[in-house]
Amino acid sequence: MSKKRIILKAENISKQYRLGTVGTGTISHDLNRFWYRIRGKEDPYLKVGESNDRSTKGTSEYVWALQDINFEVEAGEVLGIIGKNGAGKSTLLKILSKVTAPTTGVIKSRGRIASLLEVGTGFNPELTGRENIYLNGAILGMTKKEITSKLDEIIEFSGCQRYIDTPTKRYSSGMTVRLAFAVAAFLEPEILVVDEVLAVGDAEFQKKAIGKMQDISREEGRTVLFVSHDMDAILKLTKKAIVLENGSVVFKGNSDEAVRKYITSKNAIKTIQSWETIDSAPGNQYAKLKNIQVLNSKGKANYDFDVSEEISIAIDYWDFNAENKNTAIIQIFNDYDVLLFSSNEFNAPEWERFHDGKESIINTVCKIPSNFLAEGKYTVLVAVGNYNPNRIHLKIENALTFSIRDNFLEGVVTVKKNIGGNWPGIIRPLLKWEVTKEI
């Protein structure tokens, strides 16, 4: 059995920031740190500070963006890093890329590290695209001869041939990230660090970039650290992932389990939400939510459904929009945060008649047909807006949740009873088949 070759190792990495200041803080704090250090004692400010929960108001002026992070990455491995906004993902990548230093801990790596952290990082806007390729290559430790040998491939992959001799300050953000990714991918660093900047590019380039990263790891044996909120991209590209929460690692393991852990922590079970008064309800002067529910065929709020059941998403809202007709909107996401479909209230035949410009409470129900969604957990985004002009008055992500399983209801007898189970695919419609036999 071949021995694992560890190319990157993080040992007890922590990063502390002082809120409301630039740098470490006041001169008195820095002098205090220096005095403790020359006496051979620990930094006194490491004993203070709170976890990085941005949703709560803390009592300390110090916060731990990262705390006690430990992991290792093998050569040729693609490691996913996932977590909510503010979990510490970008801070960790900046430390790994040596953009910033950790407060405690050490990073051990073998080989050159190329980073793609923010659009245009490392680019001089006054230089042309071609000149920035040479500049970034030099920063990575490449010789001019090595960069020249890859120049044509970089330019072709970026799709910026026409503007390659134009200063990058005239590039759009999408063009800049295309060129930056091409430089990082083709100049052959041993470790490639990619933050979620690929979201700036169009769908065609995102697909192209993910394919290139797969080639980098599988065929060229290089290591990739990949941060993204796109769970589908994480699953396609990585086999292992870590989940960060409030600056700490809460899960390390295979990507499928990591994604499920992340989605589960983010989406608690919610089958009903209601607001008794207009003042407490989300919305604006045009519309406010009153009640939202996931209902079964008996009109009861429910979480577990069989694939053969119809599911109803009920939305009640205060309609104050006299000038333009409002519409309720839903979007359904699967447990990998992939948007499956959207639907609007104005598809209802009664929509025109009931939106008559008078203030009222609108009760609307969207019915998801039976034998349509595959087994799994789903979240519902609920919004209210008007389409002419296009304007969203309120939007609640992860507003409702429900789960679909196969054949758990007593007395359910369907065509699928002998072929049940967790079938692959995003949807699972019960289609009509016609069979003939020749004798």
Q: What is the CATH number of the domain that holds 336?
A: 2.70.50.60
The better pLDDT of the pair 251, 26 is held by: 251
pLDDT band at 166 (very low <50, low <70, confident <90, very high): very high
Per-residue pLDDT of 109-145, as tens digits, reads 888 887 777 666 678 889 999 999 999 888 777 788 9
Last-in-domain residue among 230, 249, 265? 265
Q: What CA–CA distance (Å, rounded) separates 49 from 47? A: 7
Residues 77 and 200 in one domain: yes
Mean pLDDT throughout 420-434? 78
For residue 221, give its domain range: 72-265
pLDDT for the residue numbered 1: 44
Burial class (CB in 10 A: 0-12, 13-18, 19+), 320: middle
Run of H or E including 14: strand 6-18
Crossing angle (nearest 10°) for helices 203-218 and 173-186: 10
Per-residue pLDDT of 201-227, as tens digits, reads 677 777 787 788 888 777 777 888 988
Per-residue pLDDT of 370-384, as tens digits, reads 999 988 889 999 999
Per-residue pLDDT of 395-422, as tens digits, reads 999 899 998 887 644 444 444 443 445 6
Residues 317 and 392 in one domain: yes
pLDDT higher than 80, residue 169: yes
Give me the residue label for tokens 């009153």.
Answer: 290
Residues 88 and 162 in one domain: yes
Q: What CA–CA distance (Å, rounded) separates 158 from 152? A: 10
Q: Is the dihedral of CA 158, 160, 165, 171 positive or negative?
A: negative
* Bridge-based pairing state of the strands 62-74 and 6-18: antiparallel
pLDDT, the chain, mean: 82
pLDDT higher than 80, residue 19: no
Report field, pTM of the whole predicted structure over 0.85: no
For residue 328, the SS3 value is: strand
pLDDT higher than 90, residue 261: no
Residues 332 and 388 in one domain: yes
pLDDT for the residue numbered 417: 41
The better pLDDT of the pair 217, 265 is held by: 217
What is residue 318's DSSP assignment?
E
Q: What CA–CA distance (Å, rounded) separates 91 from 100? A: 8
Per-residue pLDDT of 322-361, as tens digits, reads 777 889 999 999 887 889 999 999 888 888 778 777 788 9
pLDDT higher than 50, residue 275: yes
Percent of the chain with pLDDT over 90: 27
Q: Is the CB of residue 361 less than 8 Å from the CB of residue 290? A: yes
Cβ neighbours for 7, distance < 8 A, ≥ 6 positions apart: 73, 74, 75, 109, 110, 111, 190, 191, 223
CA-based radius of gyration for the chain: 27
What is residue 3's DSSP assignment?
P
pLDDT for the residue numbered 47: 55
pLDDT band at 366 (very low <50, low <70, confident <90, very high): very high
How many CB atoms sit inside 10 A of residue 315's CB?
24
Q: How many domains does the chain have?
A: 2
Q: What is the CATH number of the domain that holds 220?
A: 3.40.50.300
The better pLDDT of the pair 22, 375 is held by: 375
Q: What CA–CA distance (Å, rounded) separates 131 from 128? A: 5
